[in-house]
Amino acid sequence: MKIKNLLIVYHSMTGGTLQMAQAAARGAAAESAVRLLQAREAEAEDLFSADGYVFATPENLAAMSGVMKDFFDRTYYPVLERIAGRPYATLVCAGSDGQNAARQIARICTGWRLKPITDPLIVCTHAQTPQAILAAKTIPEEELKRCEQVGAAMAAGLALGIF
């Protein structure tokens, strides 16, 4: 049986989103070949070579990060109509609620005709002051376990041919 490939594209400014993406990668590693790639480095070819995706972004000014938006801007049209039907999940490291960042990613993935495997996983740090927003983040272990579960679910679904 062919090992399925999972691509995790992320951007992280203060480490929180990176921790979440790494946790998803740990969860998926037993059943998938996982590639963890920074959004600024990800290209259309990376999307083509993957069987499923996890997109992880911080919430910046009530939106996905600009670097994550740039990734989608650069890859959207080159892969349009060529990755339809593949599964994806979204992770958001938020300071307030993260809903708009999740909605933005969902709209893009709808355009690509990707299938969400779960609701977006949003971890809220409640960082509301300039100092707290810019500080390095430590994501609680229980939240990282949830991210691992997303990765494990994606990998299991890919391995079983459910997605």
Q: What CATH code is carried by the domain that includes residue 59?
A: 3.40.50.360
Q: Are 16 and 140 in contact (CB under 8 A)?
A: no
Cα distance between residue 134 and residue 25, in whole Å: 25
* pLDDT score at 24: 98
Cα distance between residue 74 and residue 42, in whole Å: 9
Q: Which helix (H) or strand (E) holds 104?
A: helix 99-111
How many whole angstroms from its chain centre is CA 133?
20
Domain count, the chain: 1
Burial of 38 (0-12, 13-18, 19+ CB in 10 A): middle
Share of residues in the chain with pLDDT > 70 (%) = 99
In the structure, what pLDDT confidence band is assigned to residue 122 with cuts at 50, 70 and 90? very high
Residue 146 has pLDDT above 90, yes or no: yes
What mean pLDDT comes out for the span 40-57? 98
Residue 66 has pLDDT above 80, yes or no: yes
Strand partners, 53: 7, 88
* pLDDT score at 43: 98
Domain that holds residue 143: 4-160
